[in-house]
Amino acid sequence: MESFTNGNVRLLKHERSIVAEDDLDRRWQEATGEAVSEVIFLSKHTAVSNRPALTVHPIGVPHLREDETPPQGGRPGWAAVPNPRIGPWLRLMQKVAADQGLVPEFEITLEATHHGPLTSTPTMFVEIGSTHEYWGRQDAAQAIALVLWKGLGLEEGNAVGTWLGSGEKVLLGIGGGHYAPRHMDIVIKDGVWVGHLLSGYSLPMDAPAQVNGKSSGEVGGMWKHSIQVSYEATKAGFPGGEVIAHLDQKSFKGWQKNAITSYLQEQNIRIGKPNDFLCTKI
């Protein structure tokens, strides 16, 4: 695997699917003796809409059962430790894309937590989408390169999104679509940190039985596990921070919202409103 060096940054050029590169951080350390503090995958984004986009997102498949095979890497029921740079880099990406004239042609957006590969260190994906036409766009590639250059502090030594861990609030997104629009409304504001983003497909819920027209019994499915492992992974990515759940209320049916709210309360996971996530540090 070809590699390049700039200070403490290592850029690896691989020749197979990224989602197949399990334990790349561990393998690099074993091969070189260099400890890995974070992983940032640069990838091609695909979407049914074919709309041009620059995206950033955490990874994991926390909603899958042990007997299920992840379609795009990872391990069933697993969520990676999210890279704290996700929120700050989304905002940096918006600025760089606007300065480079890519907006409004390109959408700059978060994506919900999905796919692999397995990692042990804070991880995120940064992607160009959504078709061959846009994957080859040099102006889009230049924008991503500038985000990396500025975001990792290679320009002036001031990295963007370095977590210092002093009690800031961190958003754990629950519900909504793949591009997390309700959570995006909060994360685009300066100073907001974001961990995992669980869209509706990452919260499989089996409707409880009906007795005399009323719900009775437990709400089955992997939704509790998905929330729990994503919460724990987000806590690990933001040591010293306060992880607060933000629900896309309108994306749930009444029984779903009630079940999720009750579970979060049982787990002592605070549920926040948009203004609860604003802070002064980035």
Of 127, 117, 123, residue with least CA distance to 51: 127
| Polymer length in residues for the chain | 282
Whether 216 shows a pLDDT value over 70: the answer reads no
pLDDT of residue 165: 83
Q: Indicate the pLDDT class of residue 48, thresholds 50, 70 and 90.
A: confident
Give the mean pLDDT of 25-48.
94
The encoded tokens of residue 58 equal 């955490």
Whether 282 shows a pLDDT value over 50: the answer reads no
Cα torsion through 63, 24, 237, 11, rounded to 10: -130
pLDDT of residue 212: 60
pLDDT of residue 247: 98
Q: In which residue are the tokens 């918006």 written?
A: 94
Q: Indicate the pLDDT class of residue 279, thresholds 50, 70 and 90.
A: low
pLDDT of residue 146: 97
Report pLDDT digits (tens) over 224-258. 999 999 999 999 999 999 999 999 999 999 999 99
pLDDT of residue 174: 98
More confident residue, 208 or 176: 176
Q: What is the DSSP letter of 113?
A: S
pLDDT of residue 34: 97
Q: How far apart are CA 71 and CA 124, in angstroms?
A: 18
Lowest mean pLDDT among 9-18, 113-122, 204-213: 204-213
In order of their start, the domains of the chain are 2-277 (3.40.630.50)
Say how many C-beta atoms besides its own lie within 10 A of residue 173's C-beta. Answer: 27
pLDDT of residue 130: 86
pLDDT of residue 1: 81
Q: Indicate the pLDDT class of residue 14, thresholds 50, 70 and 90.
A: confident
Q: How far apart are CA 160 and CA 209, in angstroms?
A: 49
